[in-house]
Amino acid sequence: MTAFPTVATRTSALDRLAQFLPVAGEDYAKLRNLHQPEHDHVSRLSPYLRHRVLSESEVIDRARALHGNRADVFVAEVLWRAYWKGWLEMRPQVWRETQAGVYAGLARLDRDRDLAHTYEAACEGRTGIEGFDDWARALTTTGYMHNHQRMCFASIWIFTLHLPWELGADFFLRNLLDGDPASNTLSWRWVAGLHTPGKAYLAKSEVITSLSDGAHWPKGLATQSFVVAGPSNPVPGPCPQGGAWDRQLPTALLLHEDDLSPDWLLNAGLRPQSTAFLVAPDARSPRPVSPLIKAFLRGAVEDCSRRLGPDLSSLHGPVQGPGAVDALVAWARQTGAAQVVTPFAPVGPVAGLLASLDKRLAAENIRLIRAMRPYDAALWPHATHGFSRFHQAARHLV
């Protein structure tokens, strides 16, 4: 199987984009759901987009430049990322509830030996279910799972194996190179029937067999879904807005794993006197996070430092681990900065750390400015309802 890229450089991202673009039109629309071993009919750009080694805007622009309206299906798939993020930004309690569900699920495993056995078999690919086991093993060894396989996997996890969906979301988040708090959490909620109440996704053997060209024919899958307990969708709150920095004040730049291409800030006139990197892979889960994720992040940070080093002034970091906030406060103080500018981090582990850092910096009379990309500022406010309504607005904004 061709795994996700493990070389986390912008050059490798652009190379993969160039390889994919010729099939980003009608071929993608027809073939994207096929479970083919090489997966060359899908972009495999998501690890780069997840950490913004590539931006969504440039990918959309290049696909449209080559295919025009024939790229609409691919563009819609890219826009799903903004929809999920905007939806969660206006309902951050869903992330907190999901994290609480992970801890509650792990506590259940301690009390229920049978459930723990099923959970371990599912994570290790030992359930005896064709397809499902192959996908689980491939995920943990490559960091990759095809999008349609993810839907089927989640459905089998929930409705056939009767495992807590939150633990499945956690399994993905700590193993996928493109693991994203918004896309991952809300996709699992969608499969479970929580995101769109009453509309769960039920994996079917014949569909898996057809899409895998007969490679897998899973037996014993659930034939009916059931109501998954969980809070209903909250009423959306206000969409957050980014802050603006003072060009006259001494400034430090804090980059993080949610946005590792600060060109847009530098092009807007930001001139940092020092730059630090925050990476927090272990904050994704109470269980061990894949070393593949850590290696990818390490490579992406190193690549960013090499590409933009002269423009980022003195470099510090990467900062990670339990003492990250303390280390960043000390760094900001030592630089003599009056403000620390950082790309806006969407709901997730990094945003939580930045919230703690904000309070600590305020005590030092240093402002933390969360600068939002124009792409996010334009699209997120439209994620108030379902994707269809969002898409109607978003496709005219990018």
Beta carbons of 43 and 144 less than 8 angstroms apart: no
Domain boundaries, the chain: 10-89+380-394, 99-211, 251-371
3-state helix, strand, coil in the chain (%, to 5): 55, 5, 40
List Cβ neighbours of 54 (8 Å cut-off, separation of 6 or more): 10, 13, 14, 17, 45, 48, 261
Give the Cβ contact number of residue 374 at 10 Å: 12
Beta carbons of 125 and 134 less than 8 angstroms apart: yes
The domain 10-89+380-394 having CATH identifier 2.40.70: the answer here is no
Supply φ then ψ for residue 214, to 5 degrees.
85, 5
What kind of fold does domain 251-371 have according to CATH?
Rossmann fold (3.40.50)
In this prediction, residue 36 carries a pLDDT of 78
> pTM for the full model?
0.96
Grouping H, G, I as helix, E, B as strand and the rest as coil, residue 396 is: coil
Sequence letter at residue 328? L
Beta carbons of 319 and 328 less than 8 angstroms apart: yes
Grouping H, G, I as helix, E, B as strand and the rest as coil, residue 333 is: helix
Render each residue's pLDDT in the chain as its tens digit; 398 residues: 444 556 899 999 999 999 999 999 999 999 999 987 777 789 999 999 999 999 999 999 999 999 999 999 999 999 999 999 999 999 999 999 999 999 999 999 999 999 999 999 999 999 999 999 999 999 999 999 999 999 999 999 999 999 999 999 999 999 999 999 999 999 999 999 999 988 999 999 999 999 998 889 999 999 999 999 988 899 999 999 999 999 999 999 999 999 999 999 999 999 999 999 999 999 999 999 999 999 999 999 999 999 998 889 888 879 999 999 999 999 999 999 999 999 999 999 999 999 999 999 999 999 999 999 999 999 999 999 999 999 999 999 99
Give, to the nearest 10 degrees, the angle between helix 113-124 and helix 93-111. 110
Sequence letter at residue 386? G
CATH superfamily label, 99-211: DNA Cyclobutane Dipyrimidine Photolyase, subunit A, domain 3 (1.10.579.10)
Max distance between CA atoms of the chain, in angstroms, equals 66
Rounded distance between C-alpha atoms, residue 39 and residue 37, angstroms: 6
The pair of three-digit structure tokens given for residue 104, joined into one six-digit string: 């509650």
Our measurement of the distance from residue 85's CA atom to the centroid of its chain's CA atoms, rounded to an integer in Å, reads: 9
In this prediction, residue 4 carries a pLDDT of 54
What DSSP line would sit under 172-213, residue for residue? HHTT-TT--HHHHHHHHHHHHTTTTTT------HHHHHHHTT
